[in-house]
Chains A and B, each alone.
Chain A
């Protein structure tokens, strides 16, 4: 049975650094929402080096003689063209073409793959895998840290890790007595370091000690989410509810800006027929909106000439851009190119009237991931 809350392997250190005692639960794990100041943490992950706890990611191993065949049917890209040691990004869809999840798929060996995703879909995937006589094995006793920022590589190198990895590559390493996996599956140009539960504290301490010279700092979940918005990545459970019931069509990959994860040359994945149909009729697209002022709640309507053309998803103040940004779903026909839309903000105690604010539609991402500065 899953406990109500779970502490990650880094919890002791996170608790020590968490000045405001600000916690949040994600996928059952208790995580630092903010250590000190979200803006500071987001900036350090963009300008210097930051360490975020990502042990909450759902990871499952698909292993067996038919693992490749199963994943080829499950995912929207061809896993068979991955070399062992390589990874790819893909979606998995329901029969109706709705997004059930997005993942990084890493090929560990000929018959061994790992799925890394932001939200679990364990029952459905287990059921699907059973058609191929496979039993997915969830990884439960491994922690993960994201090392972000332009000096991430330098910090890792200083800590004694060989970090010359291309994006989407990963490597198993033996790090002064610890078995770790270093990967680059994330969207923010950084690294992920995966270790056994018991090694969590040692890993944290080594990184912090080696990274001190680069201003390394722990990054809370709020800042990590902010990076997602700046990178234009819609996340399940936060920006959209993935399909959980049978044949649902929504949300479609197009409406979430995830269509680039569907390989057009790949012809045999679950939900493809429905995806081909929905691609023609889906009117909504994921865009970014930038504006000055208050951060609106999710699902705040966006108007154009008085007509509702979409709504916001997650929004936040971006310290790097110095204005508020939000992901939004809008009808594509309503926003040709650079358009201004109107955001309706609900009354607050300070400002009791309904306010209309002008917002600028912008392409995504707002900001590119920082390049690694060679050590």
Chain B
């Protein structure tokens, strides 16, 4: 039997891989998408959490899905509907603080904490959103059509060195508010540059709303289903359970892949949704990327985000339309980060949780929490402890919750990284060409987002870069 051959092979059937494959197929390329696991979805996969419960493992809300992907791949037609266009952000400190899209409404909520903070909120939001708007082409386009305005570049330079904590501190006085907002800055809100993550979040657009956080009907898996539908309609051939053993080179150019089964598939273009490190170190032939390039690869961080999923038999006064951040004060992030760096669980967990609809039998709920920062590597004992700690922290806000738990699942950052080849390294200021091209000709990354998020943008741009180069 002669080897199968395609115009392009895409490694990884997550949102990035599916988007990339669809765009290639849209340009009339014959594309094969390979997924190592038995189901598509990657970080948007749902796992079964006991009888009747499913829960998202990676992303538990959508914050950065590229609206152009939704439109151009006609995802709405393939079943993508949003149950919640913009979820309210509720900070559950000593006293709750609620942040919604409506500015006067938010001002009213904040005023209960601090009159001064309430007064500056409109200015803060305006500055954040308008800076995000000017920087949007920088993160959205492979090549920005116009150079960024000078003021935006200046701001970019300033934000490169600014931590989210310091930036929020310069605006607000209320601990609860600052701590709630800081969660969106990622695992290191005290580190220089983390303020830029807040700007990046505000530069995203979900269901037509800037900086919104959405819940698709059916959860992230519904997005995967819609993308799969679109990909298949466009003619992408999809093969699951097909683990790629290595990328095949011909005369130092990527020229196909070899599967773990031993089958070789020829393709003059290879896309990988795995991280740069995993693609170049594990899939490409040893050293093919160049020894200096390999040693310059970013290291995986020691900190990360853990997933804790609870199946609940009941949840009194459930709020399916908000996301909750549990953090009393900014210092909790710093304390958690230093504990995590030392390989310990923080004394005071900082986490976000949602209780979205449609994942559990009627009357019951799934609570999905993301705890960060925590140590990237965690043993089983530490994971059990994390689960217990989280439940006891939740108990203070929702008493009686611990009695309702039917199942618990805790995944460490490393669990998720191993399972999905998740890209942790981020460089928010690199241009897309640097981020997606590799030293090996004809091998591109298609999942390397500036900030780890479900977006599809990297896939869209990778396809465009490759098609542009081919022409």
Contact = CB atoms under 8 A, between A and B. Distances in A.
Interface of A: 66, 69-70, 73-74, 94-96, 124, 127-128, 131-132, 246-247, 267-268, 270-273
A127 B292 CA distance: 9
Contact of B439 (A95, A124, A128): A95
19 contacts: A70-B287, A73-B288, A94-B292, A95-B290, A95-B291, A95-B293, A95-B439, A96-B292, A124-B291, A127-B291, A128-B287, A131-B286, A131-B294, A132-B286, A267-B252, A268-B252, A270-B290, A271-B290, A273-B252
A73 B286 contact: yes
A95 B292 contact: yes
Nearest to A271: B290
B281 A131 contact: yes
Q: Sorted from nearest, which 10 A-B pairs have the closest CB atoms?
A: A95-B290, A95-B292, A73-B287, A128-B291, A131-B286, A246-B292, A132-B286, A127-B295, A270-B291, A131-B287
A132 B292 contact: no
Contacts of B293: 95
Nearest to B293: A95
Interface in B293-315: 293-296
A124 B292 CA distance: 8
Contacts of B252: 267-268, 272-273
Contacts of B281: 131
A131 B293 CA distance: 12
B51 interface: no
Nearest to B287: A73
Interface of A, helix, strand, loop or mixed by DSSP: loop
B77 to A, nearest CB: 44
Given A95-B439, A267-B251, A132 B291 contact: no
A73 to B, nearest CB: 4
B294 A128 contact: yes
Contact of A131 (B251, B291, B296, B439): B291
A319 B290 CA distance: 45
B286 A74 contact: no
Contacts of A270: 287, 290-291
Contacts of A131: 281, 286-287, 291, 294
Interface of B: 251-252, 281, 286-288, 290-296, 439
B276 to A, nearest CB: 14
A95 B290 CA distance: 5
A271 B287 CA distance: 11
B320 to A, nearest CB: 48
B268 to A, nearest CB: 18
Nearest to B291: A128
Contacts of A267: 251-252
Contacts of A94: 291-292
A132 B284 CA distance: 12
B292 to A, nearest CB: 4
B298 to A, nearest CB: 14
Contacts of B294: 127-128, 131
Given A66-B286, A74-B291, A270-B291, 13 more contacts: A73-B288, A74-B287, A95-B290, A127-B291, A127-B295, A128-B294, A128-B295, A131-B286, A132-B287, A246-B292, A246-B296, A247-B292, A272-B252
Contacts of A247: 292
A95 B287 CA distance: 10
A368 to B, nearest CB: 36
Nearest to A123: B295
Nearest to A128: B291
Nearest to B284: A131
B40 to A, nearest CB: 31
Contacts of A128: 287, 291, 294-295
Contact of A70 (B286, B292, B296, B439): B286
A312 B295 CA distance: 35
A66 B285 CA distance: 12
Nearest to B249: A268
A69 B286 CA distance: 8
Contacts of B288: 73, 268
Nearest to B290: A95
B208 to A, nearest CB: 44
Contacts of A127: 291, 294-295
Nearest to B295: A127
B24 to A, nearest CB: 26
Contacts of B291: 73-74, 94-95, 124, 127-128, 131, 270
A124 B287 contact: no
A273 B292 CA distance: 14
A273 B289 CA distance: 11
A19 to B, nearest CB: 46
A133 B88 CA distance: 50
A74 B293 CA distance: 13
Contacts of A124: 291, 295
Contacts of A73: 286-288, 291
Nearest to B252: A268
Q: Which of B286, B293, B439 has the most CB of A within 10 A?
A: B286
Nearest to B281: A131
Nearest to A131: B286
A17 to B, nearest CB: 42
Contacts of B439: 95
A295 B292 CA distance: 39
B19 to A, nearest CB: 30
A270 B290 CA distance: 6
